[in-house]
Amino acid sequence: MEGWFHAHLFILGWATMLAMGAVYQLTHVILQRNIASKTLGYIQYAIFTVGLIGLLYGFIRAEFQILAIFASLALIGILLFAANIIITMWKAGRWDAITISALCAVLYLVLTGLSGLAMGVNFATGIFGHIHQQLFGAHIWMGFIGWFGLLITGFSYKMLPMFYLAHDYPVKLQMVVLILWNAAVLVGAVAFLSGAGSGMLWFALALLAAAVIVYNVHLMQIKKHRHKKNPGNGIRWSVISSQALAVAAVATIVMTALVPSLLHDAEAIVTAGWMYLGCWVSFTILSYASKIVPFLWWTYRYGSLAGKPGTPLMANLLSDRYVQLGLSILAVMSLLVLIAIPSSSATFIALAGSALAVGSVLYMVLIGFVFLR
């Protein structure tokens, strides 16, 4: 249960909570219209937060009744979030690779929550019997690959051109990425739920690798059409992490083709999972935060004062030099954790993980200082 506590604290408490806030804000920026209901957004956050805290407490106590109650609350929060975003998008009626990616990501978040609740019910009642592991695999796959993957790729189509000041770049590859990524999520989920075996799971990974490669090609297209040489160190690091993911994805396909047993090796799965979740998802969120937070705060605090004497520039809200230092340290710490996992050294893993945790907290404190300016 301790492992589940830390996993949900990281995935739901950190990554998902921040991603939800980003979706609310960036949906407003992309669609140029208000969220369907700000009040519902506050209610959703309150319910989700209470559900998450109770869920984490349930993991500590290992009490399935507590888990069931608060997992249901967390799921209600997710459903309210999904409803708010879907209604907003439906009213806007703007459908492109960005909005469709965000919509698919939200739907996969809902499916992740439902499958997680089904696992909790199965723990308490055994109603689903022998398919618990299949549910667990689909739960992880849809959350990691579906929710986080499509959210990051979709919003990157807006973020990178905005900060690179890129214009007239081709967008056809965005739909290619969207199709390949969704195919990877669906094939992988079916592979887990049906227990189809290694072949189908490897095919899902191959689809994902293809999507990541095409995604990186498109990032280079955006960069080629830029009118701003330096988009900020946060954006630069986000591109580097995506390139590293592409290399890792290709390596994974080759290695698992040569040694299929790696698809079911616990150590290999954890290492690959950290490469994806820690070195790409979390690191990309941290990288984007250095641009998103100052942008949103300046717009809220100083947007109406633009051009007036005494109004600070957006670039002055956060030192890009400190961002470079912070992300460089986090990159090294993330790689240390990646190296530590296959070493099977508990001491090495604990030290690397602790160093990353401290670095992450200090980096977020740096980002938080934006609100004092």
Is there a single domain that holds both residue 53 and residue 147? no
357 lies in some domain: yes
Is there a single domain that holds both residue 2 and residue 61? yes
Domain extent for 339:
267-303+311-373
Q: What percent of the chain has pLDDT over 90?
A: 55
Q: What is the mean pLDDT of the chain?
A: 89
242 lies in some domain: no
3-state secondary structure of 336: helix
What would the pLDDT profile of 288-308 be if each residue is shown by its tens digit? Answer: 999 888 888 888 888 777 777
Is there a single domain that holds both residue 72 and residue 103? no
- Cα–Cα–Cα angle for 10, 62, 115, nearest 5°? 60
Is there a single domain that holds both residue 55 and residue 100? no
What confidence tier does 265 reach under pLDDT thresholds 50, 70, 90? confident
Write the CATH number for 137.
1.20.120
248 lies in some domain: no
Which pLDDT belongs to residue 31? 82
Is there a single domain that holds both residue 102 and residue 225? yes
What confidence tier does 2 reach under pLDDT thresholds 50, 70, 90? low
SS3 content of the chain, % helix, strand, coil (to 5): 85, 0, 15
368 and 335 Cβ atoms separated by less than 8 Å: no
pTM score above 0.85? yes
Task: Identify the H or E element spanning 58.
Answer: helix 38-61
Q: How far apart are CA 345 and CA 342, in angstroms?
A: 8
The closest alpha carbon to 279, from 261, 315, 252, 319, belongs to 252
Cβ–Cβ contacts within 10 Å for residue 138, how many?
25
Which pLDDT belongs to residue 1? 62
Is there a single domain that holds both residue 38 and residue 124? no
Structure tokens, 164: 């690179």
Is there a single domain that holds both residue 293 and residue 364? yes
323 lies in some domain: yes
**Is the pLDDT confidence value at 153 over 80?**
yes
Pairwise pLDDT comparison (33 vs 329), residue with the higher score: 329
What would the pLDDT profile of 126-148 be if each residue is shown by its tens digit? Answer: 676 677 788 888 999 999 999 99
What would the pLDDT profile of 10-22 be if each residue is shown by its tens digit? Answer: 888 888 998 898 8
Pairwise pLDDT comparison (254 vs 18), residue with the higher score: 254
Is there a single domain that holds both residue 81 and residue 130? no
Q: Which residue has the tokens 């106590």?
A: 61
Q: How far apart are CA 202 and CA 184, in angstroms?
A: 10
Is there a single domain that holds both residue 78 and residue 197? no
Cβ–Cβ contacts within 10 Å for residue 96, how many?
15
DSSP class of 168: S
How many domains are there within the chain?
Answer: 3
361 lies in some domain: yes
